[in-house]
């Protein structure tokens, strides 16, 4: 797969643990201090031990100065897209343009149902996600009044506003064929996780996204490629993907950029977490940027 030439970004993936909320916000502040580009928070509203993600992202945005924030990924069935669009635009304005929107079609349907959300088939979930993206972009537009009639969502002369300060990136957590096609046609970013889609599975998914983008008349590289990565930086021998010393991490992430087209890496760090984040920020990320810059200059 090609290197699409996007600027490399690095971020952290936080668990919204209600029992350690001060630590969670502290890790977000650390991400900001270390120079990370993004802080992302997983969104499972039905988890009793989790904080509510949008409220937490608002506190994180208020507690940091430069890092961008995003849900990773927002659970669409429990978040009406019209209100989600307003929430994202509001936080974008209040944070001086530091919001992106990771979005998922839904998972763990019994838990969603328990919280009063719809229980959708896989096909219905994809259709609802496509409708939701349309609804949100209509409500971020400068139109005076908008209408939309879908099978899952509708707008009846809704008044858009407030508009975000910049176009908010919609990043889709996609794995199946229809979701990958949707990503290529409509999304600003693709957001898989290495634990669900390891590197050897990336090429087929990338081709599917690229084919769908081309069929929709979009430019090659229109979709940013974000990768949630889970590993451990160690001082010993490599034990597998992202399980080894910093040099191995640099080589593997550089290859993901140049050979697989990925451009953004979101770290779900193992313990000790603070130390792992510091090593990633100080030793891994700069070396990956330098290696990619060297390769691109050739």
pLDDT in tens, 140-173: 999 999 999 999 999 999 999 999 999 999 999 9
Confidence of residue 261 (pLDDT cuts 50, 70, 90): very high
Structure tokens at 144: 């005076």
* CA distances to 43, 79, 245, 270, 289 from 7, in Å: 26, 31, 25, 26, 9
Q: What pLDDT, on a 0 to 100 scale, did the predictor assign at position 238?
A: 84
Whether the bond into 272 is cis, omega within 30 of 0: yes
Confidence of residue 236 (pLDDT cuts 50, 70, 90): confident
C-alpha span between 21 and 37 (Å, rounded): 21
DSSP notation for 96-130: TS-B-EEEE----HHHHHHTT-----HHHHHHHHH
Whether pLDDT at 93 is above 90:
yes
pTM, 2 dp: 0.96
Helices 122-139 and 81-94, packing angle to 10 deg: 50
Buried b (16+ CB within 10 A) or exposed e, 104-141: bbbeeeeebeeeebeebeeebbbbbbbbbbbbbbbbbe
Whether pLDDT at 78 is above 90:
yes
Whether pLDDT at 270 is above 80:
no
**DSSP, res 20:** G
- Write out pLDDT tens, residues 12-53: 999 999 999 999 999 999 999 999 999 999 999 999 999 999
- Domain boundaries 9-297, CATH class: alpha beta
CA 158 from centre of chain = 28
Residues in the chain: 298
Structure tokens at 192: 């898989």
Structure tokens at 15: 């668990």
C-alpha span between 139 and 50 (Å, rounded): 29
Whether pLDDT at 125 is above 90:
yes
Percent of the chain with pLDDT over 90: 95
The average confidence (pLDDT) of the chain is 96
Q: What pLDDT, on a 0 to 100 scale, did the predictor assign at position 42?
A: 96
C-alpha span between 218 and 216 (Å, rounded): 6
Q: What pLDDT, on a 0 to 100 scale, did the predictor assign at position 185?
A: 98
């Amino acid at each position: 797969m090609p290197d699409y030439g996007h600027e490399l970004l690095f971020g952290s993936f936080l668990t919204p643990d209600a029992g350690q909320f001060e630590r969670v916000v502290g890790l977000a502040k650390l991400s900001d201090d270390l120079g990370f580009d993004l802080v992302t928070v997983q969104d499972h509203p039905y988890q009793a031990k989790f904080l509510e993600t949008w409220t937490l992202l608002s506190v994180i945005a208020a507690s940091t100065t430069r890092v961008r924030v995003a849900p990773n990924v927002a659970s669409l069935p429990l978040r009406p897209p019209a209100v989600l669009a307003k929430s994202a635009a509001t936080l974008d304005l209040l944070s001086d343009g530091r919001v992106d929107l990771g979005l998922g079609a839904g998972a763990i349907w019994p838990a969603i149902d328990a919280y009063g959300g719809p229980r959708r088939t896989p096909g219905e979930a994809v259709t609802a996600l496509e409708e939701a993206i349309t609804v949100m972009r209509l409500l971020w537009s400068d139109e005076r009044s908008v209408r939309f009639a879908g099978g899952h969502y509708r707008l009846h002369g809704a008044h858009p506003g407030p508009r975000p300060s910049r176009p908010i990136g919609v990043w889709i957590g996609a794995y199946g064929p229809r979701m990958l096609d949707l990503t290529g046609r409509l999304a600003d970013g693709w957001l898989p996780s290495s634990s669900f889609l390891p590197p050897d599975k990336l090429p087929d998914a990338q081709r599917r996204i690229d084919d769908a983008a081309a069929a929709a008349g979009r430019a090659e590289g229109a979709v940013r490629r974000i990768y949630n990565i889970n590993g451990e930086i160690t001082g010993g021998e490599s034990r597998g993907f992202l399980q080894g010393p910093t040099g191995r991490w640099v080589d593997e992430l550089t290859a993901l950029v140049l050979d697989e087209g990925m451009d953004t890496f979101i770290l779900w760090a193992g313990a000790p977490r603070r130390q792992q984040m510091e090593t990633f920020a100080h030793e891994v990320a700069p070396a990956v940027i330098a290696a990619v810059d060297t390769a691109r200059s050739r």
